[in-house]
């Protein structure tokens, strides 16, 4: 069951790596680039906390979700329903497809990730961050609205100071009609174009990458639609992206995010990001994964022992005359 929502994902995209080793040159109006970076910083700061509801779908993996998300800085809580298609071969050898739907509630803080599936009354608490969730569930503005495919922020991609040695130059072009295009050129011939619109609050409206053929790069394209919220800020309406396999026209990701509601929240108490907020009923099974794994039922004493309790046991044994012999 865990693999349906949690994935062990290690994404290494050298074209997005950072670590300044001297800034690449800028062709065109460098002041426009500075303006875009300032605008992106302002946009990010406008959404430090809030609540939204969204529909997401990946047509390639046939995964989708309807989710309400509440966040405050790095603390996030999800409550929604996910669905995905499962293909299984029967005894007769014929492949049948069925829709798997389940409710999920999750909380992520800098210290842990808590996942709760109400349908099966199962909780998993992960402390070591080796597992994560479908990227489609990363819906908070700091990642899904103001970044490239939930990987890195536009603010960073628009900063020559953050570019690594593989970026050879930035080209800034005023396209007219309030649109500004920034092209990042790479040593291997790849180009990533980011187009922002001052008519939509300086937000990114589209991006596209042209990989050099035969170099293994990925072709990408995406678009953002925005609408003005009653508070005057620009809120994401819809985001679409496609990612293609290296040197191929095969679509690896065909993803769409639709934001159906947004509410600004100025202050969210920490209790909203504790396991109590998930309303896990007594008797639910809990798997607590860290340096060691503990399994217990809500309301019962946990089985297993963690390092803290082990240290206490050692001290208790010492106090009763037992030696700590180590070889």
Residue 118 is assigned to a structural domain of this protein: yes
Residue 15 has pLDDT above 90, yes or no: no
The number of folded domains in the chain is 1
**Residue 53 sits in a domain of what CATH number?**
2.50.20
Distances, alpha carbon 85 to alpha carbons 60, 240, 260, in Å: 10, 21, 24
Q: Is the dihedral of CA 121, 125, 130, 135 positive or negative?
A: positive
Output the pLDDT for position 209. 92
pLDDT digits (tens, 9 = 90+) for 17-43: 333 446 899 999 999 999 999 999 999
Query: What residue numbers bound the domain in which 106 lies?
Result: 30-157+222-289
Give the confidence band of 256 by pLDDT, cuts at 50, 70, 90.
very high
Distance (Å, whole) CA 147 – CA 141: 8
Burial 175-208 (b: 16+ CB within 10 A, else e): eeeebbbbbbbbeeebbbbbbbbeebbbbbbbbb
279 located within any domain = yes
> What is the per-residue pLDDT across 121-138, written as a single tens digit (0 to 9) for each?
999 999 876 666 777 788
User: Is the pTM value of this prediction over 0.95?
Assistant: no
**Residue 246's pLDDT band (boundaries 50, 70, 90)?**
confident
Of 268, 269, 271, 273, the closest CA to residue 50 belongs to: 268
* Spatial contact of 190 and 219, defined as CB atoms under 8 Å apart: no
The pLDDT tens digits for 307-321 are 555 555 556 555 655
Q: Does residue 39 belong to any structural domain of this protein?
A: yes
Do the domain assignments include residue 173?
no
In a domain, 176, yes or no: no
pLDDT tens digits for 154-200?
999 999 998 888 999 999 999 999 999 999 999 988 999 999 999 99
Instruction: Kindly tell me if the per-residue pLDDT of 44 is higher than 50.
Output: yes
């Amino acid at each position: 069951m865990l693999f349906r929502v949690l994935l062990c994902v290690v994404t290494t995209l050298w074209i997005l790596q950072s670590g300044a080793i001297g800034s690449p040159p800028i062709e065109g109006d460098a002041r426009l680039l500075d303006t875009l970076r300032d605008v992106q910083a302002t946009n990010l700061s406008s959404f430090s906390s809030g609540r939204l509801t969204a529909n997401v779908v990946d047509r390639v993996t046939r995964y989708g979700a309807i989710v309400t998300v509440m966040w405050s800085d790095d603390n996030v809580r999800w409550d929604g329903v996910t669905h995905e298609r499962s293909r299984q071969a029967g005894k007769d050898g014929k492949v049948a497809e069925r829709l798997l739907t389940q409710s999920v509630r999750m909380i992520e803080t800098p210290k842990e990730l808590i996942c709760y599936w109400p349908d099966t009354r199962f909780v998993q608490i992960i402390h070591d961050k080796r597992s994560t969730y479908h990227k489609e569930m990363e819906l908070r503005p700091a990642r899904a609205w103001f970044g490239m495919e939930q990987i890195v922020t536009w603010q960073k991609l628009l900063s020559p100071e953050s570019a690594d040695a593989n970026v050879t130059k930035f080209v800034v072009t005023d396209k007219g009609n309030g649109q500004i295009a920034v092209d990042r050129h790479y040593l291997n011939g790849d180009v990533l174009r980011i187009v922002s619109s001052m008519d939509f609050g300086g937000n990114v409206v589209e991006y596209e990458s042209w990989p050099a053929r035969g170099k293994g790069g990925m072709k990408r394209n995406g678009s953002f639609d925005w609408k003005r919220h009653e508070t005057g800020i620009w809120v994401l309406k819809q985001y679409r992206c496609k990612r293609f396999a290296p040197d191929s026209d095969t679509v690896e990701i065909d993803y769409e995010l639709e934001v159906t509601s947004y509410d600004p929240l100025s202050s969210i108490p920490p209790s909203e990001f504790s396991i109590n907020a998930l309303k896990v009923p007594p008797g639910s099974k809990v798997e607590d994964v860290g340096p060691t794994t503990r399994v217990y039922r809500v309301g019962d004493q946990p089985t297993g022992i963690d390092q803290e309790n082990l240290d206490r046991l050692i001290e208790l044994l010492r106090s009763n005359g037992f030696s700590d012999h180590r070889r």
